[in-house]
Chain A
């Protein structure tokens, strides 16, 4: 099948009770029925993901990313719209469906706290009905990749946060799911582990043609893995397309990085263009795309420059700007 995930006009509302400020409010609250405020978490969003795609899902906190993932994994019930994952209705939670997917959420532990890690793995093996051979293979692969082979018999309680996260990840991947929902998978891992994990996800995707939907605030994750990115904000999708298009569409400015050989007053520079950062001898300027060549030429003329570089605005800044609603 081509389309692994289909989302059509999906909406989800939450009802939130308002906090009470004063004692008198609280007392009144005791006697009347609470008015809950309706919050539209998702407003008729639509997108499709093909098998084998790795898609990055970005948005500020509260934008609706986690809500979408929870609906796609069957945890939340959509208020309206159509959702299909691998041709299943996720909410029905059929066994066949659940065996094909995996969700890795940040804070949730599925591992049994007081038991050795390996017990949890064997439990998953039985629940997901993985045969012995595949289990051995997956387990060894994952364990050596994440470097945790000596810890298999340790109680989960005794593991550090980073180690626990690696174990959670292993537990989630033992059954070789076809669709992976990853919520901040590299959070809490050291840099080497992060890179290892990214490489692993990439390989996993290639090898098993797994569909991967990933949220992250770590730009390296997005840059390395996601050829396509969906940006969601306030329950709506504001961008859905190839990663590089974000730059083209939203990065209206480029950065010029200069090393000066002679100190100069800020006001003089500002006559030419906007100064982003000035720490002699380093100077960073923000310049609109269309005029960057012209400005660069002027700078070279007017200032004593040892080195000049023209760079794209870093992705983080672009995305931050998108979230702020600027274009």
Chain B
């Protein structure tokens, strides 16, 4: 449909118009991942395995981190809190298109660009570091992997949108809430900063009941493939339940938010 194509077009054009922002975004990503990789490498200089990870499995984890972050976590949805506090949201509310649909579709070009760049970065890293990369060949596992990525993106989207809804009630706390929830909780508990299984089992099990690990850690683990079918199904089930809960919550909060929305700038 023309509508959706024009949103994709605008999304692309916007990303290209802000090239510097984009490059810096990639740079930040790379730096974070380099820190991750080198920290673990330095540990492996004096021993072979820590918490069940070896240098090659950490290498695999790193690579997957790059890919998964670019698919799941590259987004422009973090602009929404700014729209709400400044009143710019009004422009979107007046257009004959569902706002959620709009921002999800507008994110597609962002994700595609980021995936493209991460592919380049991965190739370079591959050439420089030459790690052992485990290529998943089991079709069922790959299917689970794809499903886990979809679940991950959706959960991340819902959590991000919920954080971006704070300005409806607290206009000044706009990006504060985002900072707390996304930059800190999601970053740390999703497996993006360190693999969740460095925690003791009880904490791990507790975390697996929250939506966070499903954003990064579960997809990575699913790809690496050393889980039983039962585990996979269990993960997908919990992931889907969270998708459902978060989406309902989001719809409700957003509806309430619109009722209190004043449309005035700060």
Contacts and interface: CB of A to CB of B under 8 A. Distances in A.
Direct contact of A and B (CB under 8 A): yes
A95 B5 CA distance: 18
Given A75-B94, A77-B260, A126 B2 contact: yes
Nearest to A119: B13
B261 interface: yes
A111 to B, nearest CB: 9
A114 B17 contact: yes
Interface centre among B10, B95, B96, B258 (most CB of A within 10 A): B96
Interface stretch (B31-39, B85-93, B123-131, B206-214): B85-93
Nearest to A100: B96
Query: What is the size category of the interface that chain B forms with chain A?
Result: 20 to 34
Given A74-B94, A98-B95, A103-B94, A112 B14 contact: yes
Contact of A126 (B6, B13, B258): B6
B233 interface: no
A76 B263 contact: yes
A266 B93 CA distance: 60
A105 to B, nearest CB: 8
Contact of A14 (B94, B258, B262): B262
B13 A95 contact: no
A110 interface: yes
Nearest to B3: A126
Interface in A114-159: 114-115, 119, 122-123, 125-129
A99 B263 contact: no
Contacts of A112: 10, 13-14
Interface string B9-34: 11001100110000000000000000
A301 B248 CA distance: 84
B89 to A, nearest CB: 9
B10 A99 contact: no
A109 B95 CA distance: 13
Contacts of A91: 258
Interface in A273-302: none
Contacts of A129: 2-3, 96
A108 B87 contact: yes
A14 B260 CA distance: 9
Contact of A77 (B7, B13, B259): B259
Nearest to A122: B6
A103 B263 CA distance: 13
Contact of A76 (B3, B18, B262, B265): B262
Contacts of B10: 112, 115, 119, 123
A307 B141 CA distance: 98
A115 B88 CA distance: 18
B14 A108 contact: no
A11 interface: no
A93 B92 CA distance: 11
B10 to A, nearest CB: 5
Interface string A86-112: 000001010111110111010111101
Contact of B96 (A119, A122, A123, A127): A127
Contacts of A119: 9-10, 13
Contacts of B261: 75-77
Given A101-B94, A129-B2, 19 more contacts: A74-B93, A74-B94, A75-B261, A77-B258, A77-B259, A91-B258, A102-B94, A108-B87, A109-B91, A114-B17, A115-B10, A123-B6, A123-B9, A123-B10, A126-B6, A127-B3, A127-B6, A127-B97, A129-B96
- A-B pairs, top 4 by smallest CB distance, nearest first, are A126-B6, A98-B96, A114-B17, A95-B96
